[in-house]
Amino acid sequence: NEIKQVIHQGLPFIPERLAVFFIFYSDRFFIDHYEGTGDVGFYSAGAQIAVILNLISHSLNNTFYPYFYKRLNKSKIDYAGLRKGMLAFGGISAAMMIILIVVTPFIFKYFVGQTFRPGQRYAINLVIAFFFWALYNMLLPFLLSSRRNKLIMFISIIGMLLSVTLNFFFVKKFGALGATYTSLTVFATMFVITLISVHRIYNLKNFLLNNMNNLK
């Protein structure tokens, strides 16, 4: 019975992981189809800068997820501690986003080289997009702790459908730059949906109140 329960709870993450794969990699297929392999190379060069923020996000996940789970599973949820963790997670992500945006021209000038210099125009949009992805990841423990696995799956599927649809139109109209618009829209949408979901479960006012006696 325990094994069946674990399988039942874990099944939503199979389509969720497949959806994330489409969200992250479908853009290259559309760029190759509409613009050619050359633009895929330039776009990928810009995407490598954004991947730095994604790697930092994964490191923050490993650091803060246990912190979040511990405070969410107390007999009385530690909203003050959660607020501090969220401010730290979001603050570090925002700081790294700004740093990457500032240093991107220098990276392309001194490290990437002239050949892939066109990729710089994609990097900044993708860095901003991955900032929203980091914020989405910051909120996931709140859904996981409340066992909203199916909701996480549906959010990822919505992101996948939005990614494929927008890439079809944006890449066709704006070229590889359109793929960055898609990433911005998809990750921001997933973050907003997750934020609304967390609010419905925990009430975001609880995270903003300083007086714990006023918590609901």
**What pLDDT digit, counting tens, does each position of 110-124 carry?**
777 777 777 888 999
DSSP for 114-174?
A: STTGGGHHHHHHHHHHHHHHHHHHHHHHHHHHTT-HHHHHHHHHHHHHHHHHHHHHHHHHH
**pLDDT tens-digit profile of 6-24?**
776 777 778 788 888 888 8
Closest residue by Cα to residue 142 from 89, 199, 212: 199
Instruction: Quote the pLDDT of residue 213.
Output: 46
96-118 mean pLDDT? 84
- Work out the angle at residue 213's Cα, subtended by the Cα atoms of residues 137 and 77, and round it to the nearest 5 degrees: 35
Instruction: Quote the pLDDT of residue 42.
Output: 87
Instruction: Quote the pLDDT of residue 8.
Output: 67
Model confidence at 67, in pLDDT bands (50, 70, 90)? very high
3-state helix, strand, coil split of the chain in percent (to 5) is 90, 0, 10
